[in-house]
């Protein structure tokens, strides 16, 4: 125990700002990686890799196995090259998050905010009526990331968002009810759009099994883009919202409106695009208006 304290004391004596910065950077990288793969299949794969690596390290240390050691050293470079392939979706998501910080000097206008609020009211009203009737629905709200490739898979409408239009689209057995509606700004851009399905396995862990393709598609689009997905269950009528690979379920109309307002308002989008610089410029602009 005395030797341990002595070694720790020597370690702290040799510590300087470069060593501290090195530790902080490595910790931050591991933290970001763990956050990206949380609740995904990649987390299970990473756990298996760590357990296997620890087991092999203990085995090769305790027992002298020359042939086995040679095999491990030979295959290790191939395993390291396979990691980017295994974790490709998580790496892409992280790089996209960094890239979204590039757009700055964009400001919202008061008219845009009013149009967004009217669109949110229309979506909430439609979701409430569809929920009462147990009519399934999937409504996607574009934010910063473009959804053009998914819009092209559906039927272009370019119509104003109204509760009546959404209810008509998702009425059972109508031509456009099977698929997703994509809303860009205050415009219902397309219907019957095909979305990627989630492969994270989150839905398989839910206590009930009332989650079908609509919920998987909602999670899928939220995992690959920053869009917001509103889902109305055809089985139960429950309303859910998916964002960033997470799903909030069993929402009432008040909570749904609060969530959409928090995520979808233009000020939040532009602040996310520009980061701290846009926040500072927005504050300066508002201060100038008050003066």
Residue 207 has pLDDT above 90, yes or no: no
41 confidence band (pLDDT: 50, 70, 90): low
The residue whose two tokens read 């846009």 is: 278
φ/ψ (deg, to 5) at 183? -110, 125
pLDDT band at 225 (very low <50, low <70, confident <90, very high): confident
Greater pLDDT, 283 or 118: 118
Residue 79 has a pLDDT of: 72
* pLDDT given for residue 10 in this prediction: 72
Of the two residues 168 and 11, the one the predictor is more confident about is 168
The pLDDT value given to residue 38 = 66
Question: Partners of 156 in the beta sheet?
Answer: 190
Task: With beta carbons less than 8 A apart as the criterion, state whether 42 and 35 touch.
Answer: no
The pLDDT score that the predictor gives to residue 17 is 78
Which among 161, 154, 160 is positioned nearest to 230, based on CA atoms?
Answer: 161
Residue 67: per-residue pLDDT: 81
Give the pLDDT score at 183: 94
- pLDDT score recorded for residue 105: 38
Other residues' Cβ atoms within 10 Å of the Cβ of residue 215: 24
Mean pLDDT of all residues in 73-92: 71
105 neighbors 210 (Cβ within 8 angstroms): no
Is 6 a residue whose pLDDT tops 50?
Answer: yes
Average per-residue pLDDT for the chain:
77
The pLDDT assigned to 94 comes to 63
Structure tokens at 272: 């996310």
Structural domains in the chain, sorted by start: 2-101 (no CATH), 110-264 (3.40.1700.10)
Closest CA to 141 of 207, 108, 94, 190: 190
Mean pLDDT calculated for residue range 109-134: 83
pLDDT band at residue 232 using 50, 70 and 90 as cut-offs: very high
Q: Smallest Cα–Cα separation from 38: which of 91, 95, 97, 90?
A: 90
How far apart, in Å, do the first and last CA atoms of the chain sit?
A: 66
Distance (Å, rounded) from C-alpha 277 to C-alpha 273? Answer: 10
| Count of helix runs (H) and strand runs (E) in the chain | 12, 7
**Is residue 168's pLDDT more than 90?**
yes
Most trustworthy range by pLDDT among 40-54, 86-100, 235-249: 235-249
Residue of 195, 219, 225 whose CA lies nearest to 205: 219
| Most distant CA pair in the chain, distance | 78
pLDDT at residue 76 greater than cutoff 70: yes
Over the stretch 13-38, which tens digit does the pLDDT of each residue have?
A: 777 778 788 888 888 888 877 776 66
The whole model's pTM is what?
A: 0.60
């Amino acid at each position: 125990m005395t030797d341990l304290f002595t070694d720790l004391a020597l370690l702290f004596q040799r510590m300087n700002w470069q060593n501290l910065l090195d530790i902080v950077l490595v910790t931050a990288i591991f933290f970001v990686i763990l956050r990206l793969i949380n609740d995904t299949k990649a987390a299970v794969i990473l756990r298996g890799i760590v357990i296997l690596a620890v087991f092999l390290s203990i085995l090769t240390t305790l027992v002298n196995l020359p042939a086995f050691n040679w095999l491990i050293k030979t295959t290790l470079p191939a395993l390291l090259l396979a990691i980017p392939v295994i974790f490709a979706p998580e790496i892409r998501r992280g790089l996209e998050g960094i890239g979204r910080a590039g757009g700055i000097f964009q400001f919202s206008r008061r008219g845009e905010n009013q149009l967004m609020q009217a669109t949110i009211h229309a979506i909430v009203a439609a979701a409430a009526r569809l929920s009462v009737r147990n009519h399934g629905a999937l409504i996607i709200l574009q934010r910063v990331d473009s959804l053009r490739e998914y819009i092209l898979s559906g039927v272009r409408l370019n119509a104003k968002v109204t509760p009546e239009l959404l209810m008509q689209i998702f009425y059972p057995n109508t031509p456009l009810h099977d698929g997703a509606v994509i809303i860009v700004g205050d415009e219902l851009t397309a219907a019957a759009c095909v979305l990627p399905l989630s492969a994270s396995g989150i839905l398989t862990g839910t206590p009930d099994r009332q989650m079908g393709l609509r919920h998987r598609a909602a999670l899928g689009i939220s995992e690959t883009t920053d869009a917001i997905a509103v889902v109305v269950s055809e089985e139960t009528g429950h309303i859910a919202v998916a964002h960033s690979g997470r799903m909030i379920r069993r929402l009432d109309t008040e909570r749904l409106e609060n969530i959409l307002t928090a995520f979808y308002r233009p000020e939040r989008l532009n602040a996310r695009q520009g980061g701290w610089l846009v926040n500072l410029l927005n504050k300066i602009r508002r201060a100038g208006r008050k003066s």
